[in-house]
Structure 1
Amino acid sequence: MASPSVGELMTRFGMAAQLFQTKLEAGLAPYGLTIPQMSVLSHLVALAKPLRVTEIARAVEVGQPAVTKMLTKFEHAGWVGFITSAEDRRSKAVVATDNGRELLAEVQQSIFPTLGGFFSEWKSEDLANFSEYLKKVIQLMDDRPQTNI
């Protein structure tokens, strides 16, 4: 089998990304969440450390005012908590709460119930390779924020 061209690979990647986004939007709707909100909550849970709003906004590529609004919603829902800096009382960081981690786990389970079975058919080395390739693509995109990759 011939190796696919870069164009073919990126077309497949784009198709997978679009299908994933469509399914994700539909799965988040019952929870009253959007994809950017899910990204913020996922980021907070994954890093498991206090982050400033500017750090979150930069990481998930959403404007700081929008992230602040999301975090206010999350705080009212009990999904995050704010921590005031001891050095600068004006500076606050945010962390995911146990409720936020539980919500994220519930959302992921409800949105992707069949993926567990799908990936269970893969060899562990194939999963590890897939994960590493995705990390490389993400790093490539992160390192080159311009549209010209």
Structure 2
Amino acid sequence: MFELFNEIGIIEQLSRTAFEAVMTDGMTLPQFSVLNHLVRVGDGRTPLAIARAFQVPKTSMSHTLAKLDQADLIEMRPNPEDGRGKLVFITAKGRAARESAIHALAPEIAQILPVFTVQEAAALLPGLRKLREFLDKARDPL
């Protein structure tokens, strides 16, 4: 199991570097990850819920959200259930920026295909999903 997690960690480092090298407009991986999260799980999350999902301190997430908000990639709206709280919504510009980031990665991904096929990737997905779901359920709340 250590070898599995070691490989995942190395892949994360290498893919982060490749991702950030092709990003435009200074988008960072944490910023993209928030946009991707909102597309995947839906709008209307609190900053604390997003911080918990990423297992980062609320202050770190607040900084990332502030950058996204300044760039009009997200919109912070008042939480109708909590007068002091906010809810996070991805904007049309944020969705477009996410799609642009994915397209910017296409040449990097194309370089992988001769040595690691789509079929090989598809074969790994069920096991990786199962591992992610287990780890997601087992984590301690912040």
- Tell me what 2:43 maps to: 49
Alignment of 1:105 with 2:105, yes or no, is: no
Report the aligned-residue RMSD: 2.6
Alignment of 1:25 with 2:20, yes or no, is: yes
TM-score (norm 2): 0.78
Output the CA distance in 2 between the equivalents of 1:39 and 1:110: 15
Output the CA distance in 1 between the equivalents of 2:60 and 2:31: 9
Structure number with greater CO (CA < 8 Å, separation at least 6) is 2
Aligned length: 138
- Aligned pairs (5 A) from 1:66-81: 66-81=60-75
Alignment of 1:92 with 2:69, yes or no, is: no
How far has the Cα of 1:16 moved from its partner?
A: 2.2
How far has the Cα of 1:81 moved from its partner?
A: 1.1
**What is the identity, as a one-letter code, of the residue corresponding to 1:130?**
L
Change (3 A) 1:53 1:110: same
After superposition, give the CA deviation of every residue in 1:42-101 in whole Å (9 maximum; x if it has no partner): 211222221000000011122211211222221221111122222332121011111101
In terms of Rg, which structure is larger? 1
Q: Percent identity?
A: 28
- Tell me what 1:15 maps to: 10
Task: Name structure 2 gaps, 5 residues minimum.
Answer: none
- Return 16-25 or 44-53, whichever deviates more: 16-25
- Tell me what 1:122 maps to: 118
Change (3 A) 1:136 1:91: same
Query: Is the Cα contact below 8 Å between 2:31 and 2:68 reproduced in 1?
Result: no
TM-score (norm 1): 0.75
Task: Name structure 1 gaps, 5 residues minimum.
Answer: 1-5
